[in-house]
Amino acid sequence: MNSAEVRLQALSKHYHRVAAVDDVSLTIEPGSMVALLGPSGCGKTTCLRMIAGLVSPSSGDILVNSERITRVPVHKRNIGMLFQNYALFPHMTVSENIAFGLDMRGIGKADAVKRVGHALDLVRLADFGGRFPSQLSGGQQQRVALARALVIEPAVLLLDEPLGALDKGLRESMQVELRALQRRLGVTTVMVTHDQDEALTMADRIVVMRDGRLEQVGTATEIYQRPASKFVATFLGASNLFNGTVERRNGGETLVTTGAGLSLSVDGVAADARDVVVSVRPEAVVVNRLNGSSPPQNVPNTIVAEIEQVIYRGFISHYYLKLQDGQELIAYQQNQTRDVAAAYAQGEKVIVRWDRSSNHVIAKD
Amino acid sequence: MSSDSQALAPASSRLVERIALRLTLPAVLLAVPILVFLAIFFFYPAINLLFFSLLTQDAKGVVGPPHTLAHYTRFFEVDLYLRVFWNTLRISLVTSAFAIVLGYPVAIVMSRSGPIVSRTIALIVIAPLIVSVVVRSYGWQLILVNSPNGLLNWALMSIGIISEPLAILYSETAVVIGSLHVFFPMMVLPLASALGKIDPNLEDCARTLGAPWWKVFLRVTLPLSVPGLVAGFTLVFSLTAGSFVTPVILGGTTATMLGNLIEQQIFVVYDWPFGAAIAMVLVLVVFAINTLSMRLLEGRRFRSVS
């Protein structure tokens, strides 16, 4: 399959003066998989439907391989789309469903039969061609929808919450399967999801959207480890956010103090910054007992906290902590021994610390 | 989370339905009053009618044995009766066909619009039912009158489309127009309801797969709306075939239908057994056409995804 490059240029969609998608520009590399991630109503589905041609943009352009397709009608765009509820034609068999797109392209019967067979093999449903969609499980329906979208050899594959309707176990295995298939075929893919795990697992690049705008674009690691805003920091996983003031600078290292008397040593603070927001991921926070010893003073990235609640989650425990000034702090810690989590009492004072490299300065709100 | 529960919903609701069905079996009793009513006032007279059509009427007008099929053979041997028979079938089929063709666009708009628009359209479509069939038919008579004074002829002649008045009144066309006017909602309402149940994603999906709008309609919308189409066709066909007032007022002597023939036999000729035989023919034709249309349109392969 030849891979296409997709480019969105200042794409906007307004509904009665409300912007659903606002000035979105994005280049999607040929053969890559991009996930549009965001809460419901952030404009990600509208974006996807504009690429498909199901929604016409208020302004801006969509280019596939540098060719402007903004005004090309849906049925001439050569796009494979997977709908949230699969949208299989209930009155057609699995084979007829898959052959539909070939039929619309005027492909001869013999050739079509061969390609449908190939597509069924691809999604491991070779023996299901004669069944009706209602006779298939959710996962099988999903794979038929995928075969139907891929058999037309689309320039771009669009996935609208592709695995949202599957139960958890099936969803995880389908994520891996779908990703492997996409890599093998090399088809440029845009996926819409509100599920951060799905985006992190499947996408080469993640596009976080909020209120119709792009919030941050980057690889899974970039987005997770260096969130550009408070919104990204809290939408993808959990974050502990500290509002602090720059205390002193020492070369590349900056010392920031917060209201609770916590001092943070941080890299990469802008030279003119005074008030900054620092995020620390819960899994970076290490919880230890005080064991009667007096709390250390003026050690960066270390503070005394009080246990509010400990939730045992199997291989990890979630620690809900409270600092002196009332700020809440979350820590995720792997459970090494059998009863370590249960051993903490509510209200017990503990010492928490984390590595300097876990401090990340957030550029904007 | 929400999407998980959505996926589970169909399966669980089906289960709930099945359980509900089993638990509320005594609810069948609620249907008993109307069933008893229909048994006494419809099925019993209908069977009586069947026997009547098989009896002989003597010179004094007394109906009794011997049993005979003579009324039926007479019906199918006399040209006049056969012509009325074909008139009835033709008018009913043409009316249904027009109702389908005109009904789809209206039903599609209804099923796609918001509640306010769709309810307004429904009201407009149903409105003709509020007016008595006699009043409505006389209204059509005024419009269709075959002289230059008729509203339609006057309008067409003043624009210059025609130079001689059309002779629409007292023809099958007039009966079709009159019937269509009344029975149109019987097509549109079930059709809109069936179209409303089609997942809009199916049509969007067909478009992404390369189908222009008319292929989307033929391959996806039309086959999936068949339940509504069958319901609408059955209603319009049956109601038109059983018409009496409309053909009398708008059809005159040229577009007589079975209903008029029955009335003549009962009230003018006083030949009750023959009238009964014609009535039985009408019942059987309507029944046969409905059964046939259901088989033909629904086919064996149609299955719905719950």
**What's residue B58's pLDDT?**
74
Domain count, chain B: 1
Residue B19 has pLDDT above 70, yes or no: no
Does an H or E element contain B156, and which?
Answer: helix B151-159
Show residues of chain B in contact with A167, CB under 8 Å.
4, 7
Per the rule left: phi > 0, alpha: psi between -120 and 50, beta: everything else, B107 is alpha
Q: DSSP letter string over A146-190?
A: HHHHHTT--SEEEEESTTTTS-HHHHHHHHHHHHHHHHHHT-EEE
Strand A79-82, strand A156-160: pairing: parallel
Contact at CB, A75 and B219, closer than 8 angstroms? no
Note whether B304 contacts A134, CB cutoff 8 Å.
Answer: yes
3-class secondary-structure state, position B148? coil
On whether the CB atoms of residues A88 and A145 are closer than 8 A, the answer is: yes
| Contact (Cβ atoms closer than 8 angstroms) between residue B203 and residue B216 | yes
pLDDT at B18: 57
**Tokens, residue A319:** 């620690």
Closest CA to A57 of A8, A101, A93: A8
DSSP assigned state of A73: -
Please tell me which of the candidates A81, A90, A165 has its beta carbon nearest to residue B303.
A90
Per-residue pLDDT tens digits for B117-173: 999 999 998 888 888 888 888 888 888 887 778 788 788 888 878 777 777 888 888
Q: Does A249 touch chain B (CB under 8 A)?
A: no
pLDDT digits (tens, 9 = 90+) for B106-117: 999 999 988 899
Categorize the per-residue pLDDT at B248 as very low, low, confident or very high, splitting at 50, 70 and 90. Answer: confident
- Give the CATH number of domain A238-362: 2.40.50.140
Q: Do A100 and B201 touch (CB under 8 A)?
A: no
Average confidence (pLDDT) over A251-278: 79
State the CATH number of the domain containing residue B140.
1.10.3720.10
Find the chain B residues whose C-beta atoms sit closer than 8 A to any C-beta of A. 3-4, 6-7, 199, 201-202, 204-212, 215, 219-220, 223-224, 301-306
Of the candidates B70, B48, B44, B46, the one whose C-alpha atom is nearest the C-alpha of residue B57 is B70
Tell me if B205 and A84 make a contact (CB, 8 A cut-off): no
pLDDT in tens, B191-240: 999 999 999 999 999 999 999 999 999 999 999 998 889 889 989 999 99
d(CA B262, CA B274) in angstroms, rounded, equals: 8
Structural domain boundaries, residue B115: 79-298
CB A7 within 8 A of CB A26: yes
Burial category of A322 from C-beta neighbours within 10 Å (exposed 0-12, middle 13-18, buried 19 and up): middle
How far apart are the C-alpha atoms of A295 and A303, rounded to whole Å? Answer: 8
**Is B36 a domain residue?**
no
DSSP assignment of B82-139 equals: HHHHHHHHHHHHHHHHHHHHHHHHHHHHHHHS-HHHHHHHHHHHHGGGGS-HHHHHHH
Tell me which fold the domain A6-229 belongs to: Rossmann fold (3.40.50)
CA distance A281 to A240: 6
The predicted pLDDT at position A154 comes to 93
Query: Checking DSSP bridges between strand A188-193 and strand A33-37, what pairing results, if any?
Result: parallel
Which residues in A lie closer than 8 A to residue B303 (C-beta atoms)?
90-91, 132, 134
What residue type is A267 in one-letter code?
D
CA atoms within 13 A on the CB side of B6: 9
Q: Min CA distance, B305 vs chain A (Å)?
A: 5
Share of chain B above pLDDT 90, in %: 30
The number of C-beta contacts closer than 8 angstroms across A and B is: 86
* Residue B129 placed within a domain: yes
Alpha carbon of residue B87 to chain centroid: 16
For residue A338, the model assigns a pLDDT of 59
Residue B290 in domain: yes
Give the type of residue at B102: L
- Cα–Cα distance between A240 and A278 in angstroms, integer? 8
Q: What is the pLDDT of residues A299-341, one digit of tens each?
A: 888 888 889 988 888 888 899 999 888 888 999 988 876 555 5
Residue B101 lies in a domain: yes
- Find the CB nearest A81 among B199, B205, B301: B205
A87–B205: do the CB atoms touch at under 8 Å?
yes
Q: How far apart are CA B237 and CA B234, in angstroms?
A: 5
Range(s) of chain A covered by CATH 3.40.50.300: 6-229
Whether residues B211 and A75 touch (CB distance < 8 A) is answered with yes
Residue A84, chain B, CB below 8 Å: the answer is yes
Residue ranges matching CATH 2.40.50.140 in chain A: 238-362
The verdict on residue B65 lying in a domain is no
